[in-house]
Structure 1
Amino acid sequence: MLFLARMDVQFPAHLSAEDVTRMQGLEKEYSQALQQDGRLASIWRVVGEYANYSVFDVESNDELHQILSSFPMYPFMKIKVTPLAKHPNSIR
């Protein structure tokens, strides 16, 4: 199942720069592992925002929820998920 997720990040003001940097490192490690195993099929930065669009290829809604809620920055994310279906005009 394919899902498009828009993830917007907003850190609270009380977090130190060191905490943010540490969390960004953990986030990078986690997202790269998901990319390597194929569950995070694609990730794109939204220009000018601390946000991204990601395409997930997973078996179920529950698996996607587990993946999203395991992101280190999850407590600071607003996430909108859109299920995707093959378009009849697609040549792929």
Structure 2
Amino acid sequence: MLYHIRMDVNLPADMDPEVRADLLARERAYSQKAQREGRWPHLWRVAGEFANVSVVDVADHDELHALLSGLPLFAYMDIEVTPLAVHPNKIDQ
């Protein structure tokens, strides 16, 4: 199943710099692993914001929840999920 996801990151301004750096490094490793596995085929930064839009490809809602809740930054994110379906006008279905 494909999902369009917007993630807005809201780290506390007073977060310890070492904690922040560790979180960001773990987030990078986690998301890159999911990309290599093919579960996260599209990842785009939203210009000028600490946010991204992504398309993920997972088996079901439960796998999606596990993927998102496993993100090291999950506790600091506002996440909006939109399930996707094939458009009838798409030529290479």
TM-score range, shorter chain: over 0.9
Q: How does 1:72-87 map to 2 (within 5 A)?
A: 72-87=72-87
Whole-angstrom CA distance in 2 between matches of 1:91 and 1:37:
26
Deviations 1:37-69 (A, max 9, x none): 000111000000000001110000010001000
Whole-angstrom CA distance in 1 between matches of 2:18 and 2:5:
27
Aligned letter for 1:88?
P
Aligned letter for 1:71?
L
* Equivalent in the alignment of 2:2: 2
Give me the identity figure in percent. 49
Deviations 1:62-81 (A, max 9, x none): 10001000000000000000
In the TM superposition, residue 14 of structure 1 has moved relative to its aligned partner by 3.2
Whole-angstrom CA distance in 2 between matches of 1:5 and 1:70:
15
Give TM-score scaled by structure 2 length: 0.95
Structure 1 runs (4+) deviating above 3 angstroms are: none
Give TM-score scaled by structure 1 length: 0.96
Aligned letter for 1:64?
L
In the TM superposition, residue 13 of structure 1 has moved relative to its aligned partner by 2.8
Deviations 1:13-53 (A, max 9, x none): 33111111111100000000000000011100000000000
* Equivalent in the alignment of 1:91: 91
* Equivalent in the alignment of 1:41: 41
Give the total of aligned pairs.
92
Aligned letter for 1:47?
A
